[in-house]
Each structure stands twice: as structure tokens, then as C-alpha cells.
Structure 1
Amino acid sequence: MTATTSPAPGSRRARIAARTLRTDRWWTGPLLTALGLAAFVVYATARVFQQDHYWVAEHHYLTPFYSPCVSASCEPGSAVFGTLPWEFPWFLPYALVSLPFLLLFRFTCYYYRKAYYRSVWQAPTACAVREPHRSYSGETRLPLLGQNLHRYFFYAAVLISLLNTYDAAVSFAHGAEGGFGIGLGNLVLLANVVLLWCYTLSCHSCRHVMGGRLRSFGGRPVRYWLWTRVSRLNTRHMLFAWTTLATLTLTDLYVLLLSSGTIADPRLFN
């Protein structure tokens, strides 16, 4: 037998002479995806570095963009786990210990990879549409090789989701009279946390944790039950990916409006 070598990545990729063979509006999906992601990035970046209107002391509402607040300049009461001994300059976010991991978890997410590969990097933009790149190596080289770290960022995301859950839960103990209370802000924070858990637990890495490396679920009924539940969530991972971008924005915007005195928090029970 004659020894053969494997073809280089992308050497057998289909070539399309025309720019596209499509006659439909194939560009609508990638365009809307790019605009949606860009809108969130612009808003979130502006808010993270604004370093103001992130805390409502009266009802203990803390926007998730600033949780946990670890700068010495955090408003009193907002840093529930304490702060570092120095104030951050304007170019460092107050939630410095959590935001990098959240961003990396989202950036390396399987769905978001597909979204920005198609809409931004255009690899590929759509079926039967010519790519602007001459070669293709996928995620076999740096920097895209780092996408494989997603499974480890998942564990950090779980810890941060627990922190967001605590933020939402403790706010119920700060009613108008200082005791238990429920306002619209409590429901907003709670809804956001529930959806964040749906996004985190529907992650492909979570599904692998529950059932990966197993040849059989025989004798492991608990793991099988968990795997089936996570698998059901996994089918809606794209939905949760977009929904949580919206709820994060709306939650932060609601806290901003309350903190700035633009609106008042309707109280359902004090």
C-alpha cells in the first residue's frame, strides 16, 4: 500500500465562482445578527464603564453588569462581599472579577460562535455564498483554538449565576419598611436570573458534564435524569442566548432609571 497524507484543512472546500447562487434575501439573517450583537456590545460597554447609576440602595437592586462590585469606590451596600482596598480607574469595570469570565463564556459559546462566524467573520456567511477568505483552518489554530476553553468558562458562569441569584434573592428582604417586600424591580431581577440559569444550563458543556464520557447510563439513573433535562433545554440554547441579552439590557436599564430618579419602583407588597 502507498502511504497517503491527509489533505490540508480546507483544501477540499467547495469553490463557488459566482458571488452567490442564492436568489433569496440570504443576507437578512447575518445582517440582523450582526446588528443585534453590535447593539448589545455598544450598550453593555457604555454601561460597564459609566460607573454610575448601578445601585438602588432603598430596595437593594444591583444591576448584573456590576455584580460583584469590588472597587473601593463602589456605593455603600452594593459590595455585598466586600471590596478591594483601592479605587478603580475609569478604564477598569467595577465587576472586574466576573465580567472577563462572563464575556469569555459568551464569546466561546457554541451558538455565539456560529452567530459571529457567519455574520461578522463570514465563514461561511450562508449556504451557496462565496466566502471572502482564501483558506480555512477552522478552530485548529490560534487564536480560534482557544474556543476549546469554553468548557472551563462554564464553571465560572455557574458561580456567577449563583451570585446573581443571591443578588436577586437578597433584594426581597429590603422592602420600603426595611422588611420583606416585592416591587417590580424584584420581579425584573428574578426573571433575569431564571433566564440566565436557562442559558447557562442549556449550554453544550453542561450537557457534556451530565452525560459525557459515559458509554451507558445503566446504573446511573440520576445522571440520566439530569442529562435528559439539560438536553431539553439545549434545544432552546439559541433562544436563551438572545433572550438573556435582552433581559440583561432591560434589567440594567431598569436599575439605571430607578437609580437616576427617572422612575419610581411600583411596590406590590411591602
Structure 2
Amino acid sequence: MSAPATERDAVGVFSPGRARILARTLRRDRWWLAPLLTIAGLAAFVIYATIRSFVRTAYYSAEYHYLSPFYSPCLSESCVPGASHFGTPFPELPMWIPLAFLSLPFLLGFRLTCYYYRKAYYRSVWLSPPACAVAEPHSRYTGETRLPLIIQNSHRYFFYAAVIISVINTYDAVIAFHGADGGFGFGLGNVILVGNVLLLWTYTISCHSCRHVTGGRLKHFSKHPVRYRIWTQVSKLNTRHMQFAWITLGTLVLTDFYIMLVASDTISDLRFVG
């Protein structure tokens, strides 16, 4: 007769009726590699973005109107001249408040509650579970029904905020077509800014919430051909949501890093026109 079930035995892979295997897993492949790479990638972005959001240096090139996405919109009197594309309705801010304090919390909320990012950090950070057929270290699982995970249900609202911020980033990219003489100008920085914005839009509209907004409540697609067409296209993008999630982390860093180099006069912007 088997030994009585302990508290840990009561759930998950150790629950009664499951095979009594004490090993964490019988897998012989490097199952830990994917979670490790995920947490390394996310940690690298968080560290870089946090530092750049608070240093308040080399985030705007006055000559070409290049504004880093980590500082948009810049609405405080603490912003350098020209960086406030929508005015300065807020007074100077202490150093512990990022200049893009209106957008960064919503963008962080949008990313953290994203369906793909949930999968990524559930597996890599919380190890719930770390990989298929690998026992998780938690004795209980309550799902997204209690704090803090119940906040995940607010993803659709963060999506609406992300759309507004994407519009602002698009405006920043458009007015950056500014030459040194005040007229039209076009350089490598414009290519990077526009590319970043296009990929951010792709990531945003490939979101599961966007898919639900466009066609999730429809009962008869035939009665709503336009929305059905939009839903179809969003669904195609949705299959690449994971790739866009990672690509946009890279383009955000690339955009900010390039603007930092130009704004600090470390390099000169490669100009094609103006």
C-alpha cells in the first residue's frame, strides 16, 4: 500500500492517481534553455529601459526632431526645449519620476498583461510551469482570480491606451522629417523611427484584445462583412504575435540607442535629404 498523500501530493503532478515519480522530470533534453533565454531577454530590456527612462540625457535631437519613444510624450517643464510636442502642462518633475510618466505605466501594463508575455514570464520567472512535463514548484494554483494576477483581466483596457500612445508615436515619427534648415529632411533616424512605429502598430493590432474588439462579439459574420474582413486580417497577424512582441522590444532599444548617439553628438545622422 502506498504512503498517505502529503500536502504537496494533493495537487498537480503529485496528486493521487498520478504516477509516483519523485524526480522533477524525466526529460533528458535542455528543457531549461527556453525559460533561461526568455528571462535573460526580458531582464536585459527591463534594465536598459529603466535606466534610459530615468537618466534624462540624450533623448532628443533638436536638429532633426528625433524623440526617443522612452520619453514620449514629454509634457513637463523638465523636458529639453523642443521635446514637448504637445506643450508642457506639467511643472518640473523630480528625478524619480520619468518624463514620460503618462505613457510608460500604460505601456508597461499593456506588455505585462499581454497574452504572450503572460506565457513568457509565467514559465520563466514564476516557473508555472517552467516547461512541458516539468513539475512546477508551487503547491497551489489559483489562476487569475486573485491579486495580483486578477489584474491580467484589465488587458483590453491597456490595449485602448496602447492605441492612443501608438498614435502619439506616429506623430513623433512624422514631425521628425525635419531638415537642419527647417524644411523637409530625411535621414537614417527617420527610417528607424518609422520602422519602429510600424512594428509597434503591428504588435498592437495583432493583440488578442484587438481581435476580440473587431469581431469577437459577432454572431453572424455574413451580416458584418467589413468587420469580418478586419477580424480576418487581425487573426492572421495574431498568429505572429509572439514574434512581434520580441521584435518590438528590439526596435524600441535600437530606436532609443540611435537617438542617444545622435543627440549626444557621438555620431552624425546619415542624411539622405536635408
Q: TM class, shorter-chain normalised?
A: over 0.9
Question: Which of residues 90, 102, 110 is equivalent to 1:97?
Answer: 102
Distance 2:87 2:222 in 1: 46
Task: Look up the equivalent residue of 1:177 and give its one-letter code.
Answer: D
Could you report, residue by residue, the CA deviation over 1:45-65 in whole angstroms, capped at 9, with x for unpaired residues?
000000111000000000000
Q: Which runs of 5+ in 2 are unaligned?
A: 1-8, 15-20
Alignment of 1:242-253 (within 5 A): 242-253=246-257
Question: Which of residues 86, 105, 112 is equivalent to 1:107?
Answer: 112
- Paired residue secondary structure (1:25): coil
Question: Which of residues 262, 268, 272 is equivalent to 1:264?
Answer: 268
Matching residue of 2:32 = 27
Q: After TM superposition, give the deviation of residue 215 of structure 1 in Å.
A: 1.4
Is 1:64 the counterpart of 2:63 in the alignment? no
Distance 2:180 2:81 in 1: 18
Could you report, residue by residue, the CA deviation over 1:6-37 in whole angstroms, capped at 9, with x for unpaired residues?
xxxx9663325211121100000000000000
After superposition, the CA RMSD in angstroms is 1.2
Question: Which of residues 50, 66, 75 is equivalent to 2:80?
Answer: 75
Is 1:161 the counterpart of 2:161 in the alignment? no
Task: Look up the equivalent residue of 1:44 and give its one-letter code.
Answer: A
Is 1:186 the counterpart of 2:185 in the alignment? no
Distance 1:114 1:236 in 2: 15
Distance 1:227 1:14 in 2: 38
Q: Do 2:11 and 2:139's aligned partners in 1 also have CA atoms closer than 8 Å?
A: no
Distance 2:180 2:270 in 1: 11
Distance 1:140 1:75 in 2: 44
Question: Which of residues 222, 235, 240 is equivalent to 1:231?
Answer: 235
Question: Which of residues 241, 255, 263 is equivalent to 2:259?
Answer: 255
Q: Which runs of 5+ in 1 are unaligned?
A: 1-9
Matching residue of 1:127 = 132
Q: Do 2:211 and 2:235's aligned partners in 1 also have CA atoms closer than 8 Å?
A: yes
- Paired residue secondary structure (1:121): coil
Distance 1:156 1:11 in 2: 42
Deviation beyond 3 Å, 4+ runs, structure 1: none
Alignment of 1:198-237 (within 5 A): 198-237=202-241
TM-score, with normalisation over the residues of structure 1? 0.94
Task: Look up the equivalent residue of 1:175 and give its one-letter code.
Answer: G
Distance 2:201 2:49 in 1: 20
Alignment of 1:131-150 (within 5 A): 131-150=136-155
- Paired residue secondary structure (2:29): coil
Distance 2:195 2:119 in 1: 27
Could you report, residue by residue, the CA deviation over 1:52-104 in whole angstroms, capped at 9, with x for unpaired residues?
11000000000000000012110111101111341111100001111100000
Bigger shift: residues 42-51 or 131-140: 131-140
- Paired residue secondary structure (2:272): strand
Task: Look up the equivalent residue of 2:114 and give its one-letter code.
Answer: C
TM-score, with normalisation over the residues of structure 2? 0.93
Matching residue of 1:13 = 12
Task: Look up the equivalent residue of 2:230 and give its one-letter code.
Answer: L
Question: Which of residues 24, 29, 44 is equivalent to 1:39?
Answer: 44
- Paired residue secondary structure (1:138): coil
Matching residue of 2:3 = none
Is 1:151 the counterpart of 2:156 in the alignment? yes
Distance 2:85 2:218 in 1: 40
Percent identity at matched positions?
A: 65
Figure out how many residues of one structure are paired with residues of the other and give that number.
Answer: 260
Q: Do 2:11 and 2:140's aligned partners in 1 also have CA atoms closer than 8 Å?
A: no
Q: Do 2:13 and 2:135's aligned partners in 1 also have CA atoms closer than 8 Å?
A: no
Task: Look up the equivalent residue of 1:232 and give its one-letter code.
Answer: K
Task: Look up the equivalent residue of 1:215 and give its one-letter code.
Answer: K
